DNA sequence: ATTTGACCTGGAGTGCACTCCAGGTTATAC
DNA sequence: GTATAACCTGGAGTGCACTCCAGGTCAAAT
């Protein structure tokens, strides 16, 4: 009955190492996020070791999206705190997300502009290189 | 004859404060970039104050594009060093730019994916909010 | 000539997001 | 049951990209 597969022991929870592997976040970072209040206190085994549930993983995935799109830890703390405070904060959370979404759009636009300029620079260098090789040959 | 306009004195050079204003980089950052070798030693006035030429501004603009698109100072140092070493390094510089361009593309794609997921989350919150208000009214 | 503000240098300090460590407890394999 | 590996906590350390500071020089206006 007892399943040796760590993925399914103890009601489908994961150890910190397993979460680390799945998310790419280090165990230290996972503890740090919890200490910082980005994650509510994760459930523990009898021996006080973390056991992450599916909901924890979903929340982590969301946090990672916010991080990857440039939200600061401080803002994520704020968001997590609102979330912890219950349904009355939905409007505030929505406002935060909308603002973040909008600044993300700005950022993507800026990157696209810069990508185009980079392409021009690359073309310039390709031309230089062609000429150089031509010189070498002639 | 002597023009009081700082933009046009001394052969069209700019003081550090003027460059700071135009670029948005602080004077400290401009000095830091020079100290770090990202910029060749900028020309000086008789009294040892920096006077930026048009070519310096162009190079700065390029550096800023690299920064904005996520290149590290260390990589920019490398690029600047290659540039300083002359035409023989054009192929290396081109390779660096191509690699950076490609990772930038990856990054933009990743941001777009995350932006889409964020939109979904926002929709979810909007739905929550609608329901909540409905509940309030009923 | 002098005041005031901009600028210089070398080096120390800051904020962020981790990352590592010591010293101890718990789990797994044999 | 014991060796070994994984985990725990609180707190110190790291790397990056600046940013600030002290103590001094230079420039612009009066």
- CB-count exposure of residue A114 (10 Å: 0-12, 13-18, 19+): buried
CB distance B50 to B44 below 8 Å: yes
**How far is residue A113 CA from its own chain's centroid?**
24
Residues of B in contact with A108 (CB under 8 A): 108, 111-112, 115
Q: Quick one: pLDDT at residue B3? A: 35
- Interchain CB distance below 8 Å, A110 and B62: no
**A93-115 per-position pLDDT tens digit:** 999 999 999 999 999 999 999 99
Residues 21-60 of B with CB under 7 A from strand C: 27, 31, 35, 44, 48-50
Q: Do A132 and B62 touch (CB under 8 A)?
A: no
CA-wise closest residue to A13 among A37, A36, A46: A46
Decide: A111 and B107 in contact? Cβ < 8 Å.
Answer: yes
**A137 in reach of chain B (CB within 8 A):** no
Please, which positions of strand C sit below 7 A from a protein CB?
6-10, 16-21, 25-28
Residue A86, C-beta contacts closer than 8 angstroms, at least 6 positions apart: none
Positive or negative: CA dihedral A86, A87, A92, A96: positive
Sign of CA dihedral B104, B107, B113, B117: negative
Which pLDDT belongs to residue A12?
A: 87
Give the CA diameter of chain A: 79
B9 CA from C1 C1′ (Å): 26
Burial (0-12, 13-18, 19+ Cβ within 10 Å), A138: exposed
C-alpha closest to that of A94 among B131, B116, B128, B115: B128
Return the pLDDT at A5.
40
Distances (CA, A) of A66 to A86, A98, B102, B120, B128: 20, 12, 23, 13, 20
* B124 Cβ under 8 Å from any chain A Cβ: no
B43: CB partners within 8 A, 6+ apart: B13, B50, B51, B52, B53
Residue B14, phi then psi, degrees to nearest 5: -120, 150
Q: What is the mean pLDDT of residues A119-127?
A: 96
| Each residue's pLDDT tens digit, B58-115 | 999 999 999 999 999 999 999 999 999 999 999 999 999 999 999 999 999 999 999 9
For residue B99, the chain A residue with the least C-alpha distance is A122
**Smallest CA–CA separation between B47 and chain A, in Å?**
36
Minimum distance, in Å, between the CA of residue A58 and any CA atom of chain B: 12
Closest CA to A132 of B98, B102, B93: B93
Token pair recorded at residue A5 = 């597969």
Tokens read off for A84? 């912890």
pLDDT in tens, B37-55: 999 999 999 999 999 999 9
User: What was the pLDDT predicted at A8?
Assistant: 37
pLDDT tens figures, A25-76: 999 999 999 999 999 999 999 999 999 999 999 999 999 999 999 999 999 9
pLDDT, residue B107, reads 98
Instruction: Provide mean pLDDT across the span B20-31.
Output: 98
């Amino acid at each position: 009955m007892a399943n040796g597969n760590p993925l399914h022991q103890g009601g489908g929870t994961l150890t910190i190492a397993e979460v680390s592997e799945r998310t790419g976040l280090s165990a230290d970072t996972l503890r740090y996020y919890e200490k910082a209040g980005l994650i509510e206190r994760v459930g523990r085994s009898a021996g006080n070791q973390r056991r992450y549930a599916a909901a924890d993983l979903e929340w982590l995935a969301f946090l990672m999206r916010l991080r990857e799109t440039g939200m600061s830890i401080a803002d994520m703390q704020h968001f997590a705190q609102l979330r912890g405070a219950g349904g009355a904060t939905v409007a505030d959370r929505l406002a935060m997300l909308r603002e973040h979404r909008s600044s993300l759009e700005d950022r993507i636009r800026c990157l696209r502009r810069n990508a185009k300029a980079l392409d021009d620079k690359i073309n310039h260098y390709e031309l230089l290189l062609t000429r150089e090789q031509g010189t070498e040959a002639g």
